[in-house]
Amino acid sequence: MTTTIDSLSEISGRFDAIVLDQWGVLHDGTTPYPGAPGCLAALKSGGTRLAVLSNSGKRAAPNADRIAAMGFDPGLFDCIMTSGEALWQDIAAGLIVARRLYPIVRANGDAEAWADGLDILLTDQLQAADAILLMGLPDDAPHGAFDDVFQTARARGIPVLCTNPDRASPRAGGAVVVSPGALAHDHVKRGGDRKLLWQTAPSGVSRRSDRA
């Protein structure tokens, strides 16, 4: 049965913790939604544990910094986890083997910051890469801007590792922009393999990366 509520405080006592998304829930990418920081502060002071689970292509720490810079108390959240963090941890643990990555990123430095601490090489030579890292897109990227990259990936049979599976993301003023997940899904529709990587972890357990 669906219940309509006016405030999270009406139901927060029923749960051990509340897990929140970022974009479209806490903020629009630039500014917190009205009342969001105060709402979370009240929940926290009432004993509710809070966490953030985000499809951000960046790691957890940069996202914690971003949320704090928007005015959310850094002490609000017991945990912040992102899809970008999950891929980093998988590669660090040897669950995914990718030595030479060709990055598609939102801004210069994003890929370098994400890859810090991993035994991988970021290359701007697509033909030398053994995987493509799809982290983020310029907000003004024209349709089809990266078609040639994905065509090469399909022709060579190399995987695309998408750290942000969202197909669209909100921006200030109610705008919505295309996100990496849209390209990943289009890649699969055009023949790209959804089962991107099969690798054997050090423990001998086979694990599939399915990030498109």
In angstroms and rounded to an integer, the radius of gyration of the C-alpha atoms of the chain is 19
Give the mean pLDDT of the chain.
Answer: 87
Mind listing the pLDDT tens digit for each residue in 15-59?
999 999 999 999 998 899 999 999 999 999 999 999 999 999 999
Q: Please say whether the beta carbons of 131 and 102 come within 8 A.
A: yes
Q: What angle (nearest 5°) sits at the alpha carbon of residue 61, between those of residues 158 and 141?
A: 50
d(CA 54, CA 19): 10
Q: Closest by alpha carbon to 111, among 150, 80, 84? A: 84
d(CA 150, CA 131): 11
Structural domains for the chain: 8-83 (3.40.50.1000), 85-209 (3.40.50.1000)
Token digits of residue 115: 């890859």
Share of the chain above pLDDT 90, in %: 66
Residue reference for tokens 């999270």: 8
Number of H helices, E strands in the chain: 6, 11
Banded pLDDT at 212 (limits 50, 70, 90): very low
Banded pLDDT at 203 (limits 50, 70, 90): very low
Predicted confidence at residue 142, as pLDDT, reads 80
Predicted confidence at residue 136, as pLDDT, reads 87
Banded pLDDT at 194 (limits 50, 70, 90): low
d(CA 76, CA 123): 38
Predicted confidence at residue 195, as pLDDT, reads 55
In terms of pLDDT, which residue wins out, 140 or 194?
140
Mind listing the pLDDT tens digit for each residue in 66-99?
999 999 999 999 999 999 999 999 999 998 888 9
3-class DSSP state of 114: helix
Flag whether pLDDT at 122 surpasses 60.
yes
Predicted confidence at residue 197, as pLDDT, reads 37
Token digits of residue 110: 């994003």
Q: Closest by alpha carbon to 54, among 172, 139, 179? A: 179
Ordered alpha helix ranges (H), the chain: 36-45, 60-69, 83-92, 110-115, 147-156, 180-189
Flag whether pLDDT at 193 surpasses 80.
no
d(CA 186, CA 145): 13
Predicted confidence at residue 9, as pLDDT, reads 87
